[in-house]
Structure 1
Amino acid sequence: MKSIFSRNILVVAVLCGLNTSVHAAGFALANQAGSGTGNAFAGNTAVVEDASTAWLNPAGMTELKSDTHISTSAHLVMPKAQFTNDGSTLPGVGTADGGKNGVVPGVYVVRRLNDKMSAGLSVNAPFGLGTEYSDNWVGRAHALESTIKTLNINPSIAYKVNDQLSVGAGISAQSMEVKLKSALPTGPTVTIAGKDHLSTGVNAGLLYKPTEKTQIGLHYRSGVDHKLKGTSKSDFAPLNADVTADASLPAHMSLSVGHKVNDKLEVMGDVTRTKWSSYERIRVVRSNGVDLSNEYQGWKDANRYAIGANYQYSERLKLRGGIALDESPVPNAQLRSPRTPDNDRTWVAVGANYKVKKNFDVDVAYTHISTKSTPIENTKMITGIPFLLKGNYDSKVDVVGVQLNWAF
């Protein structure tokens, strides 16, 4: 087991070096478990199937039957964010696709300590962003490239209070890396890049079984406040500087229910609320205390609603399906940014689990995420002059996920 675990951690370290692409509300990366992706995460915190419960709700770890469980997942995210110009200030190319493909990785390990307690470890990338535009598009003063990378390590522990109730909690150690590139109207580009090697957060959950067929899960994950340090670099010398910035990643809470209708069919539902109001502004400060930039974002808290089902087609094959409505935290077209051209989203997901042998099974899933027509009328002030980016985004995302699960 030690050898397998070490190799999985190495895989995560490599994958987290890739650019990830925003595909859930804001810049959260929802696809952290291949089994949950097939249900549009409808059973998120209530349904326990594999080691990914260490992340989704650590209280569920007491429900896993074998002494050791390991799951490793990877999701290929393929976004399209097609912009069409309708009156922007700068001349240039009026159509652009800011989407950038990426991979979302995850490794989860759960170990039973005794009949009452289990311990787990999650390694994943819960937040990320990847958008990139051509150098001559009409919105170049607002954004050329945006990259956010996170790596999260989350040890957790669970305790079985009785046959009906389990509780769990954990601590997250998280790093963050940000790169934001744009262009001055006169031509030179500006690249702001920063890192925070370690900030922490906490999470806690419970799993309650009112009957043998019904499970209710509740999970809270705190926000993480990052202090980024880095540089601003430009061909325009006055913009070269050492800089700092605060980045507050949001807390969220999920409530899920799973119910077994019979030996074949299980239905589930989930409501998740994310505190995106913590993302108030992007403020970058020079080392002398003077703002290099200070852009108001004004995001609002948002909800996500999902329903889904599992169907045990045969002894080896389980089929999954789900839909979700994912609210956007962006309040209006004026505050919408080409870095995150977000709007309300609809998920349609299908998946399957196949038991290869007694202690090894595979999850595969596909999700299509559609977004309604998204207007943008964002004004950016540069040296006291307003520059308008006005037009419309037509966006969609396709996600393909695979997860391997071992039990020993």
Structure 2
Amino acid sequence: MKAARPAAFAALAVAVVAALGTPQTAHASAFQLKENSAKALGRSFAGSATAGGDASVVVNNPAAMTMLTGTVFQADVTAINFSTKFSGTGTDAFGRPLGGGNGGDGGTTIPVPAFFLSTQVNDRTHIGIAFSAPFGFKTNYNPGWVGRYHGLKSDFQSLDATLSASYDLTDNFSIGASVIAQHTKAELTSAINYNGVAAGLIQQAVAGGVLPAAAAPTYLSTINTVVPPGSDGEARIKGDDWGYGWQVGAFWKLTDSDRLALDYHSKISHTLEGNARFTMPSNVSALLGSPMVAPLLAGAGGVPFTNTTGTAPFTTPAFVNLSYWHQAQKYGFGADATWTKWSVFKELRVNYANPAQPASVETFDWENTLFVSVGGEYYVNDKLTLRGGVAVDGTPTSQAHRDPRVPDGTRRWVSVGLGYKPTQKLDLNVGYAHIFVSDAHVNNLSPTGDRLVGNFSDKGNLLAFSAAYHF
């Protein structure tokens, strides 16, 4: 009888490549990045498309380019400092405690740049181009930590090139649209629990009828001697892809003082293609080639954990933004709400060229999220502006499917900012935000049956600078 393909191998294949489509913990819900404007950051992104004077609307709502005059070039950079620390325990598939520390601080500090150029073609038409990073993350836990089988290093990045245009249908109403080219790449590593993999192979061989149940204890005892707990390897995956999307926006001047904007950004579908590289201790290599195990592998379709290629379909979510602003002579205030359709990310299906690592599915079942902010500005004089804001940002994750690669919780923002115009043509801005994150509870099972139970304590700091020049 032909053996069933080893589920342990298939599940591990998913875990290694899952983060190709699962970048974690940025500074909007899950791995979404809002950080494309130092000016808007100072208000917690309240009035992101309606406050005016900000070329980031090229990507945030193209219809709002109606508020820009002449030609504007703007460069922004945001330093994202994210901290995540784990406290808890780990056990293997047999309930034995796993050695290793708590991983240290898995967070990091990364820069997120953005560039915008908007020009007024005539009294009613604007066009703009932009380069920005709408999704991204980077985490790195200490080697040998208790959650090493769930994830070590994760480095994910999406970069957008956006071409936008707007047209004023009336003096009070404008529409806009964008086409978007998005490049996504990822590099991820995880430890491999070869002791658990070997035990899983024996269990699958028994279930498939290749190995008599009475012989399983002898096989398991031999495996624990030849490949004892702690016989770890490493899996590393790199992949990338181009995807294409669009957005449409509308902008209303409700009164001389009040503005409202609505924007819809489409989902963007990818099929990430990459290479998987595996390392294996010598004792594991010897076991896989031994007369005891080699027939089981042959029945399962070949030798797993050999270098191969893989693909993983993944979609970045659609989102809708509603932005409001009230403008007075000495102050302005506004609000934003962004709904993100994270429910598109229900599962990740991975396909490998190596038949011993068959197509596998991992369930995520993320939920849709809502980001809400309020904030304002005070104009000290013609040159100096003070800003402040607060926000609440929900998480799409739940305890049932949360893992160390997504230690995400509900976030609460407090931000301040400063704007200064040394000349009529040059506009300088700085924004700072501190992000309080609810503890992320984890009770997660790895593909090789290793369980991680505990909490992640997260926090974040954002510091952004921008310079805009009006030609």
Matches within 5 A, 1:241-390: 241-260=308-327, 262-287=328-353, 291=358, 293-330=360-397, 332-382=398-448, 386-390=449-453
TM-score by length of 1: 0.91
Counterpart selection for 1:165 from 168, 173, 187: 173
If each structure's helix is expressed as a fraction of its own residues, which one has the higher value? 2
- Verify the 8 A CA contact 1:131 1:147 in the aligned structure 2: yes
Residue matched to 2:190: 182
Distance 1:20 1:32 in 2: 18
Which residue identity is paired with 1:49? G
Identity of aligned residues (%): 32
If each structure's strand is expressed as a fraction of its own residues, which one has the higher value? 1
The structure number with the bigger radius of gyration is: 2
Deviates more, 1:210-219 or 1:239-248: 239-248
Distance 2:346 2:244 in 1: 20
**1:338 aligned counterpart, secondary structure:** coil
Q: Does 2:151 match 1:143? A: yes
Residue matched to 1:82: 85
Distance 2:419 2:275 in 1: 46
Instruction: Give the deviation of 1:284 after TM superposition.
Output: 2.2
Which residue identity is paired with 2:234? T
Distance 2:146 2:90 in 1: 10
Query: Structure 1 stretches of 5 or more lacking a match?
Result: 1-18
**2:441 aligned counterpart, secondary structure:** strand
Distance 1:93 1:281 in 2: 30
Counterpart selection for 1:215 from 255, 259, 282: 259
**2:65 aligned counterpart, secondary structure:** helix
Aligned length: 383
Cα deviation 1:153-192 (Å, max 9, x = unaligned): 0000000111110110010001110122101123000012
Instruction: Give the deviation of 1:40 after TM superposition.
Output: 0.5
Instruction: Give the deviation of 1:44 after TM superposition.
Output: 1.8
Counterpart selection for 2:248 from 195, 204, 228: 204
Distance 2:247 2:165 in 1: 11
TM-score by length of 2: 0.79
Instruction: Give the deviation of 1:87 after TM superposition.
Output: 4.8
Which residue identity is paired with 1:54? V
**1:357 aligned counterpart, secondary structure:** coil
**1:188 aligned counterpart, secondary structure:** strand
Counterpart selection for 1:52 from 23, 38, 56: 56
Cα deviation 1:223-270 (Å, max 9, x = unaligned): 11111111111014722211111111011000011012x311111011
Distance 2:410 2:460 in 1: 13
Deviation above 6 Å: which 4+ runs of structure 1? none
Cα deviation 1:304-333 (Å, max 9, x = unaligned): 110001111111001111000000000x22
Residue matched to 1:3: none
Distance 2:106 2:401 in 1: 18
**1:343 aligned counterpart, secondary structure:** coil
Query: How much is the aligned-residue C-alpha RMSD, in angstroms?
Result: 1.6
Q: Quick one: higher RCO (CA 8 Å, sep 6+), 1 or 2?
A: 2
Residue matched to 1:31: 35
Query: Structure 2 stretches of 5 or more lacking a match?
Result: 1-22, 93-97, 194-230, 281-302
Counterpart selection for 1:69 from 55, 69, 72: 72
Q: Does 2:272 match 1:228? A: yes
